């Protein structure tokens, strides 16, 4: 059985279309869970969906091969350079299926 990894991406809702297009181009992230909206505060401006911080985030959870995770990692790095002020979080960990 192939080893799986879990990829979690948190990003502004404004980037949803950009991620969707790039996932399709790269042939990655086709099997995912998307949680929308997600609120939080990280290293950039908070996204809380309120009057002070009106923006919201979304979250992708993807279980995939290590090879696919590596492609996603490079995509996130690319987007962090393109969208400096958006705050994109990405975490990769072991994924166990039973």
CATH number at residue 72: 3.30.70.120
**Percentage with pLDDT > 70 across the chain:** 97
pTM of the model: 0.88
State the Cα–Cα distance between residues 40 and 38, nearest whole angstrom: 7
If you average pLDDT over every residue of the chain, what do you get?
91
Q: For residue 88, name the pLDDT band (cuts at 50, 70, 90).
A: very high
Read off the pLDDT of residues 37-56 as tens digits, 9 standing for 90 and up: 999 887 778 778 788 887 89
**Percentage with pLDDT > 90 across the chain:** 69
Please count the structural domains in the chain.
Answer: 1
Structural domain including 53 reads: 4-95
pLDDT of residue 86: 85
Q: Let me know: does 9 contact 55? Beta carbons within 8 Å.
A: no
């Amino acid at each position: 059985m192939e080893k799986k990894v879990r990829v979690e991406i948190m990003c502004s809702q404004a980037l949803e279309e950009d991620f969707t297009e790039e996932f399709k181009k790269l042939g990655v992230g086709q099997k995912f869970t998307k949680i929308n909206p997600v609120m939080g505060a990280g290293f950039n401006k908070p996204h809380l969906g309120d009057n002070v911080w009106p923006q919201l985030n979304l979250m992708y959870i993807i279980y995939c091969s290590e090879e696919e995770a590596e492609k996603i990692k490079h995509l996130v790095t690319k987007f962090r350079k393109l969208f400096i002020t958006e705050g994109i979080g990405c975490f990769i960990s072991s994924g166990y299926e039973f």
